[in-house]
Amino acid sequence: MNETISQHFTGTVWRPPYEAYSVLLQATVSCTHHACKFCSLYGSLRFRMATRAELESDLRLIARYQPRARRVFLVGANPFALSAGRLIRLADLIRDYLPRTATIGMFARIADVLRKSPEELRELRARGITGISIGTETGDGPTLAFMNKGCTPDGILQACRRLDEARIEYYFTYMTGLAGAGNGLRAARNTVRLFNRLHPYILSVVSLTLFEDAPLAADIAAGRFVPAPERERLEELRELVAGLDVPLTLLADTVSNPVPLCGRLPEDRARILAELDAALAAADEATLGEYRRRIVHL
């Protein structure tokens, strides 16, 4: 009998750093929105759901090599876009092949959460979907609108309060520099006001890094968007860290961060702020800018 010896993965596979030890299973391909101006992750790939044949083939392979897998992370820009019924059936299918699976995670958009009822969210939690990663990027309304994120600060608030009620953990992304030159402190302050009303368990901080195929490149060429200097991005991050009152894990150590930082808030706030102050004191715009230009892939 001929059987695949590799999983079905389409395009570049993305998963958060904190899911490094999770089993990956492709549930969807590309993004339902696929319209954020800064994003060039999915190119010409159109959104589709993995077929049952693909899922079962991949699960058989995982069961052969990782039969005791405890956490599964569903690959795709936002598998949470699937209906609650589909996600429930998928969770059941995963446990048919991997009975020790305790929890399931995935990426989600705010709209994906808002389309599900409180009852559906509670049922998803009961099936082991316990934590989702949301690319909020910012809590600043004008920036969300300009970047065509497809959500608003009020929508983020409503969606995450539903997740809180359903006891589904959520993990945010914040992107320094996304508001453009001169707007970083405003974006940080508005984000602090929003996030302090919520309960994100993890905040991953990245910094805007553009590639030629990102739609935002046209706005830069036309003068509609001016990229924030590297120093301003560090000041923006400092404002964010100083203002956040909710307990969370801060991870700002990906390749897009020229000054890597991580820790727990509020416990490590003083140390992180001291590290940022030292970085600002030593900041050389030319050196930091050259670092970003050398980034070839996120």
The whole-number average pLDDT for the span 128-152 is 98
Report the domain count for the chain. Answer: 1
Is 240 inside any structural domain? yes
- Whether 267 shows a pLDDT value over 80: the answer reads yes
Confidence of residue 2 (pLDDT cuts 50, 70, 90): low
- The pair of structure tokens assigned to 196 is 């302090």
Averaged confidence pLDDT in the chain: 96
41-92 pLDDT tens trace? 888 899 999 999 999 999 999 999 999 999 999 999 999 999 999 999 999 9
How far is Cα 71 from Cα 102, in angstroms, rounded to an integer?
6
- Whether 4 shows a pLDDT value over 80: the answer reads no
Is 7 inside any structural domain? no
Is 114 inside any structural domain? yes
* Domain containing residue 237: 17-293
Query: What torsion do the CA atoms of 204, 294, 140, 43 make, to the nearest 10 degrees?
Result: -90
How far is Cα 106 from Cα 27, in angstroms, rounded to an integer?
9
The whole-number average pLDDT for the span 217-243 is 97
Is 116 inside any structural domain? yes
Q: Where are the alpha helices (DSSP H) in the chain?
A: 52-65, 84-97, 110-114, 118-126, 141-146, 153-166, 184-195, 216-221, 230-243, 269-282, 285-293
- Whether 286 shows a pLDDT value over 60: the answer reads yes
Q: Of 40, 42, 39, which Cα lies nearest the Cα of 31?
A: 42
Is 8 inside any structural domain? no
Confidence of residue 3 (pLDDT cuts 50, 70, 90): low
Is 11 inside any structural domain? no
Q: At what angle are helices 184-195 and 153-166 packed, to 10 degrees?
A: 30
Residue 265, pLDDT score: 98
Instruction: Determine whether 240 is exposed, middle or buried from the number of CB atoms within 10 Å of its CB (0-12, 13-18, 19+).
Output: buried
Find the CATH number of the domain harbouring 176: 3.20.20.70
Spacing of C-alpha 182 from chain mean position: 25
Residue 1, pLDDT score: 45
6-26 pLDDT tens trace? 899 998 888 999 999 999 999
Per cent of the chain over pLDDT 90 is: 93
Is 4 inside any structural domain? no
The whole-number average pLDDT for the span 95-121 is 98
Residue 5, pLDDT score: 74
Q: Look up residue 39 and give its DSSP letter.
A: -
Residue 259, pLDDT score: 95
Is 10 inside any structural domain? no
Q: Please state the pTM of the whole predicted model.
A: 0.95
Contact between 171 and 60 under an 8 Å Cβ cutoff? The reply is: no
- Whether 171 shows a pLDDT value over 60: the answer reads yes
- The pair of structure tokens assigned to 280 is 């600002």
Spacing of C-alpha 167 from chain mean position: 19
How far is Cα 94 from Cα 101, in angstroms, rounded to an integer?
8
